[in-house]
Amino acid sequence: MAPPEVATAVGKSLTGKGARTRARILECALELFRERGYDDTTMRTIAERAGVSLGNAYYYFKSKEHLIQGYYARSHEEHLAVCGPLLEAEVDLEARLRGVLRAKIDTSAEYHRFAGVLFKTAADPESPLSPFSAESLPTRRQVTALMGEVVEGSDVKVTEPLAEELPHLLWLYLMGIILFWIHDRSPATSQTYRLIEHTSSLVTRLIKMGRHPLLRPLTTSTLKLLREFRDEVKSPATDDASTPP
Protein backbone atom coordinates (compact mmCIF):
# COMPACT_ATOMS: atom_id res chain seq x y z
CA MET A 1 0.00 0.00 0.00
CA ALA A 2 1.19 3.50 -0.80
CA PRO A 3 2.35 5.82 1.95
CA PRO A 4 -0.42 8.08 3.24
CA GLU A 5 0.24 11.13 1.12
CA VAL A 6 -1.89 14.23 1.31
CA ALA A 7 -4.77 14.33 -1.11
CA THR A 8 -5.30 17.00 -3.73
CA ALA A 9 -8.54 18.63 -4.63
CA VAL A 10 -9.09 16.07 -7.36
CA GLY A 11 -8.39 13.06 -5.20
CA LYS A 12 -4.97 12.07 -6.46
CA SER A 13 -1.91 11.46 -4.36
CA LEU A 14 1.12 13.66 -4.50
CA THR A 15 4.83 13.18 -4.35
CA GLY A 16 7.67 15.62 -4.66
CA LYS A 17 6.95 18.89 -6.36
CA GLY A 18 3.19 18.90 -6.02
CA ALA A 19 3.37 18.16 -2.33
CA ARG A 20 5.76 21.03 -1.81
CA THR A 21 3.53 23.47 -3.64
CA ARG A 22 0.56 22.29 -1.64
CA ALA A 23 2.42 22.66 1.62
CA ARG A 24 3.54 26.14 0.67
CA ILE A 25 0.01 27.24 -0.07
CA LEU A 26 -1.27 25.87 3.24
CA GLU A 27 1.61 27.50 5.08
CA CYS A 28 0.87 30.92 3.62
CA ALA A 29 -2.83 30.51 4.21
CA LEU A 30 -2.45 29.73 7.91
CA GLU A 31 0.07 32.53 8.19
CA LEU A 32 -2.41 34.98 6.73
CA PHE A 33 -5.26 33.61 8.83
CA ARG A 34 -3.24 34.33 11.95
CA GLU A 35 -2.22 37.76 10.71
CA ARG A 36 -5.54 39.15 9.59
CA GLY A 37 -8.20 36.55 10.26
CA TYR A 38 -10.10 34.27 7.94
CA ASP A 39 -12.56 36.63 6.30
CA ASP A 40 -9.99 39.29 5.56
CA THR A 41 -7.74 36.77 3.86
CA THR A 42 -8.33 36.45 0.14
CA MET A 43 -7.68 33.40 -1.94
CA ARG A 44 -5.90 35.79 -4.28
CA THR A 45 -3.68 36.99 -1.46
CA ILE A 46 -2.88 33.45 -0.43
CA ALA A 47 -2.01 32.52 -4.00
CA GLU A 48 0.10 35.63 -4.39
CA ARG A 49 2.11 35.05 -1.21
CA ALA A 50 2.58 31.42 -2.15
CA GLY A 51 3.79 32.52 -5.57
CA VAL A 52 1.19 30.61 -7.52
CA SER A 53 -1.81 31.57 -9.58
CA LEU A 54 -5.30 31.72 -8.16
CA GLY A 55 -6.41 28.71 -10.13
CA ASN A 56 -3.49 26.71 -8.87
CA ALA A 57 -4.55 27.17 -5.28
CA TYR A 58 -7.85 25.59 -6.23
CA TYR A 59 -6.01 22.72 -7.82
CA TYR A 60 -4.76 21.74 -4.37
CA PHE A 61 -7.64 22.89 -2.20
CA LYS A 62 -11.18 22.37 -3.35
CA SER A 63 -12.32 25.48 -1.51
CA LYS A 64 -11.25 28.09 0.97
CA GLU A 65 -12.91 26.06 3.72
CA HIS A 66 -10.80 23.08 2.85
CA LEU A 67 -7.75 25.06 3.91
CA ILE A 68 -9.16 24.88 7.40
CA GLN A 69 -8.83 21.14 7.31
CA GLY A 70 -5.12 21.73 7.03
CA TYR A 71 -5.29 23.64 10.26
CA TYR A 72 -7.27 20.90 11.94
CA ALA A 73 -4.77 18.23 11.01
CA ARG A 74 -1.87 20.29 12.27
CA SER A 75 -3.52 21.30 15.52
CA HIS A 76 -4.56 17.73 16.16
CA GLU A 77 -1.05 16.35 15.67
CA GLU A 78 0.36 18.99 17.94
CA HIS A 79 -2.17 18.10 20.59
CA LEU A 80 -1.31 14.42 20.45
CA ALA A 81 2.40 15.20 20.64
CA VAL A 82 1.96 17.30 23.77
CA CYS A 83 -0.34 14.76 25.42
CA GLY A 84 2.03 11.83 25.00
CA PRO A 85 4.63 12.74 27.66
CA LEU A 86 1.91 14.19 29.83
CA LEU A 87 0.05 10.92 30.06
CA GLU A 88 3.22 9.01 30.80
CA ALA A 89 4.10 11.14 33.79
CA GLU A 90 0.75 11.33 35.54
CA VAL A 91 -1.66 8.80 37.01
CA ASP A 92 -4.20 10.96 38.78
CA LEU A 93 -7.36 10.92 36.67
CA GLU A 94 -8.29 14.53 37.26
CA ALA A 95 -4.78 15.73 36.46
CA ARG A 96 -4.68 13.66 33.29
CA LEU A 97 -8.00 14.98 32.12
CA ARG A 98 -7.12 18.54 32.99
CA GLY A 99 -3.80 18.22 31.22
CA VAL A 100 -5.32 16.97 27.99
CA LEU A 101 -7.92 19.71 27.93
CA ARG A 102 -5.40 22.41 28.72
CA ALA A 103 -3.11 21.10 26.03
CA LYS A 104 -5.87 21.44 23.47
CA ILE A 105 -6.46 25.05 24.38
CA ASP A 106 -2.74 25.78 24.59
CA THR A 107 -2.01 24.45 21.15
CA SER A 108 -4.98 26.31 19.69
CA ALA A 109 -4.26 29.65 21.32
CA GLU A 110 -2.59 31.16 18.29
CA TYR A 111 -5.71 30.63 16.23
CA HIS A 112 -8.26 31.84 18.73
CA ARG A 113 -8.73 34.90 16.61
CA PHE A 114 -10.33 33.06 13.74
CA ALA A 115 -11.69 30.20 15.78
CA GLY A 116 -15.15 31.64 15.30
CA VAL A 117 -15.15 31.21 11.57
CA LEU A 118 -13.52 27.89 12.10
CA PHE A 119 -16.33 26.67 14.25
CA LYS A 120 -18.85 28.33 11.99
CA THR A 121 -17.89 26.19 9.05
CA ALA A 122 -17.54 23.17 11.29
CA ALA A 123 -21.08 23.54 12.53
CA ASP A 124 -22.63 22.99 9.13
CA PRO A 125 -23.63 19.32 8.98
CA GLU A 126 -23.15 19.34 5.21
CA SER A 127 -19.58 20.46 5.60
CA PRO A 128 -16.88 17.81 5.62
CA LEU A 129 -15.33 19.84 8.41
CA SER A 130 -18.10 19.08 10.84
CA PRO A 131 -16.74 17.05 13.75
CA PHE A 132 -19.61 14.64 13.15
CA SER A 133 -18.92 14.18 9.46
CA ALA A 134 -17.55 11.01 7.95
CA GLU A 135 -14.52 12.89 6.75
CA SER A 136 -13.44 13.78 10.28
CA LEU A 137 -14.17 10.34 11.65
CA PRO A 138 -10.49 9.30 11.70
CA THR A 139 -9.54 12.29 13.80
CA ARG A 140 -12.53 11.81 16.06
CA ARG A 141 -11.53 8.22 16.61
CA GLN A 142 -8.03 9.25 17.57
CA VAL A 143 -9.25 11.78 20.09
CA THR A 144 -11.70 9.27 21.51
CA ALA A 145 -8.84 6.82 21.84
CA LEU A 146 -6.82 9.49 23.59
CA MET A 147 -9.65 9.94 26.05
CA GLY A 148 -9.73 6.21 26.58
CA GLU A 149 -6.05 6.34 27.42
CA VAL A 150 -6.67 9.16 29.88
CA VAL A 151 -9.02 6.91 31.81
CA GLU A 152 -7.23 3.60 31.45
CA GLY A 153 -3.83 4.90 32.39
CA SER A 154 -5.19 6.44 35.56
CA ASP A 155 -5.48 5.04 39.06
CA VAL A 156 -9.27 4.95 38.79
CA LYS A 157 -10.83 1.69 37.78
CA VAL A 158 -13.88 2.06 35.57
CA THR A 159 -16.09 -0.99 35.15
CA GLU A 160 -17.49 -2.19 31.90
CA PRO A 161 -20.77 -0.61 30.97
CA LEU A 162 -19.33 2.84 31.60
CA ALA A 163 -15.87 2.05 30.32
CA GLU A 164 -17.07 1.64 26.77
CA GLU A 165 -18.98 4.89 26.53
CA LEU A 166 -16.81 7.09 28.69
CA PRO A 167 -14.31 8.01 25.96
CA HIS A 168 -17.14 9.21 23.74
CA LEU A 169 -18.60 11.19 26.60
CA LEU A 170 -15.23 12.80 27.25
CA TRP A 171 -14.89 13.64 23.58
CA LEU A 172 -18.22 15.42 23.81
CA TYR A 173 -16.99 17.15 26.94
CA LEU A 174 -13.94 18.37 25.04
CA MET A 175 -16.20 19.69 22.28
CA GLY A 176 -18.12 21.63 24.90
CA ILE A 177 -14.92 23.15 26.25
CA ILE A 178 -13.90 24.18 22.76
CA LEU A 179 -17.30 25.72 22.19
CA PHE A 180 -16.83 27.77 25.32
CA TRP A 181 -13.31 28.72 24.30
CA ILE A 182 -14.53 30.01 20.98
CA HIS A 183 -16.95 32.33 22.69
CA ASP A 184 -14.47 33.25 25.40
CA ARG A 185 -13.45 36.89 25.15
CA SER A 186 -11.52 37.16 28.40
CA PRO A 187 -7.81 38.05 28.14
CA ALA A 188 -5.78 35.00 27.13
CA THR A 189 -9.04 33.04 27.36
CA SER A 190 -8.42 32.69 31.07
CA GLN A 191 -12.08 31.88 31.65
CA THR A 192 -11.72 28.73 29.62
CA TYR A 193 -8.84 27.61 31.81
CA ARG A 194 -10.91 28.27 34.89
CA LEU A 195 -13.76 26.31 33.39
CA ILE A 196 -11.44 23.39 32.72
CA GLU A 197 -10.21 23.58 36.30
CA HIS A 198 -13.69 23.34 37.73
CA THR A 199 -15.32 20.93 35.32
CA SER A 200 -12.48 18.43 35.27
CA SER A 201 -12.87 18.10 38.99
CA LEU A 202 -16.61 17.72 38.63
CA VAL A 203 -16.35 15.19 35.85
CA THR A 204 -13.80 13.14 37.76
CA ARG A 205 -16.06 13.02 40.77
CA LEU A 206 -18.93 11.93 38.57
CA ILE A 207 -16.89 9.13 37.10
CA LYS A 208 -15.89 7.93 40.54
CA MET A 209 -19.53 7.96 41.63
CA GLY A 210 -20.63 6.06 38.56
CA ARG A 211 -20.70 2.77 40.41
CA HIS A 212 -22.75 3.94 43.34
CA PRO A 213 -25.90 1.82 43.68
CA LEU A 214 -28.18 4.80 44.11
CA LEU A 215 -27.19 6.17 40.73
CA ARG A 216 -27.38 2.81 39.09
CA PRO A 217 -30.69 3.23 37.25
CA LEU A 218 -29.70 6.65 36.00
CA THR A 219 -26.32 5.50 34.83
CA THR A 220 -27.83 2.54 33.08
CA SER A 221 -30.41 4.62 31.22
CA THR A 222 -27.85 7.18 30.24
CA LEU A 223 -25.45 4.59 28.90
CA LYS A 224 -28.21 2.86 27.01
CA LEU A 225 -29.15 6.16 25.46
CA LEU A 226 -25.60 6.86 24.43
CA ARG A 227 -25.04 3.48 22.85
CA GLU A 228 -28.23 3.89 20.92
CA PHE A 229 -27.67 7.38 19.62
CA ARG A 230 -23.95 7.70 19.38
CA ASP A 231 -23.68 6.44 15.84
CA GLU A 232 -27.09 7.56 14.63
CA VAL A 233 -25.73 10.91 13.65
CA LYS A 234 -23.74 9.33 10.89
CA SER A 235 -23.11 11.68 8.04
CA PRO A 236 -25.68 11.38 5.24
CA ALA A 237 -24.07 11.71 1.85
CA THR A 238 -20.67 13.32 1.45
CA ASP A 239 -21.32 12.36 -2.16
CA ASP A 240 -18.83 14.79 -3.66
CA ALA A 241 -15.79 13.16 -2.10
CA SER A 242 -14.61 11.85 -5.44
CA THR A 243 -15.51 13.64 -8.63
CA PRO A 244 -15.68 11.12 -11.43
CA PRO A 245 -15.08 12.93 -14.72
Q: Which parts of this chain interact with a copy of itself (CB under 8 A)?
A: 116-117, 119-127, 130, 132, 180, 182-186, 191, 195, 198-199, 201-202, 205-206, 209, 212, 214, 217-218, 221-222, 225, 228-229, 232-234, 236
Contact status: 220 vs DNA (CB under 7 A): no
Contact status: 62 vs DNA (CB under 7 A): yes
- Rounded Cα distance, 229 and 11, in Å: 32
- DSSP-derived letter for residue 73 is H
φ, ψ (nearest 5 deg) of residue 234: -65, 140
**104 CB burial (10 A radius; 0-12, 13-18, 19+):** buried
- Cα separations in angstroms, 133 against 72, 111, 124, 137, 211: 14, 22, 10, 6, 33
CB of 55 to DNA, least distance (A): 2
Residue among 17, 232, 239, 242 that touches DNA (CB under 7 A): 17
Contact status: 222 vs DNA (CB under 7 A): no
- 90, 96 in Cβ contact below 8 A? yes
Positions 184 through 203 that interact with DNA (CB under 7 A): none
Residue among 34, 58, 135, 158 that touches DNA (CB under 7 A): 58
Residue 241 binds which entry of a copy of itself, DNA, none, with Cβ cut-offs from 5 to 8 Å by kind?
none
Give the nearer residue to a copy of itself in terms of CB position, either 115 or 143: 115
- 51, 64 in Cβ contact below 8 A? no
- DSSP-derived letter for residue 13 is B
Residue 53 binds which entry of a copy of itself, DNA, none, with Cβ cut-offs from 5 to 8 Å by kind?
DNA
